Amino acid sequence: NAGVTQTPKFQVLKTGQSMTLQCAQDMNHEYMSWYRQDPGMGLRLIHYSVGAGITDQGEVPNGYNVSRSTTEDFPLRLLSAAPSQTSVYFCASSYSSLSAGASGGYTFGSGTRLTVV
């Protein structure tokens, strides 16, 4: 089924370890974003991309890197995991404009639940 696919669904890391959260979409969306969700705080934007080769920082970018080598993929890298990065991470994608059939809203993946101990 078309959509946003995130892997893994669950991950436990030790402090200081690094890892990459994978995100892929097959809807040919130009925009992709990473959010983290913490209790009582809604979703906060980490990094986003408006197209292949273009990325920018969101609200909470520290400790995370991204790259966008293709339209389909937008991996999120944790450089040196810290307990403060324990969260649920969502990848999302969207068309760039309100073209016919596009709602303007992002389509979200089902999330990666990350625990850093």
Partner 1 sequence: GQQLNQSPQSMFIQEGEDVSMNCTSSSIFNTWLWYKQDPGEGPVLLIALYKAGELTSNGRLTAQFGITRKDSFLNISASIPSDVGIYFCAGRVTGTASKLTFGTGTRLQVTL
For residue 105, the 8-state DSSP code is P
Asked whether position 25 contacts partner 1 by CB under 8 A, the answer is no
CB of 14 to partner 1, least distance (A): 25
Q: For residue 99, what are the CA distances in angstroms to 57, 70, 91, 104? A: 26, 22, 22, 8
Q: Which is nearer to partner 1, 8 or 104 (CB)?
A: 104
**Cα 97 from chain centre:** 20
Please give the Cα distance from 34 to 85 (Å, whole number).
13
Check residue 41 for interaction with partner 1 (CB under 8 A): yes
**Which of 12, 79, 98, 117 lies at the binding interface for partner 1 (CB under 8 A)?**
98
Q: Does 57 bind partner 1 (CB under 8 A)?
A: no
**Residue 17 gets which letter from DSSP?**
-
Note the residues at the interface with partner 1 (CB under 8 A): 4, 31, 33, 35, 40-45, 48-50, 58-60, 90, 92, 94, 96-98, 103-111
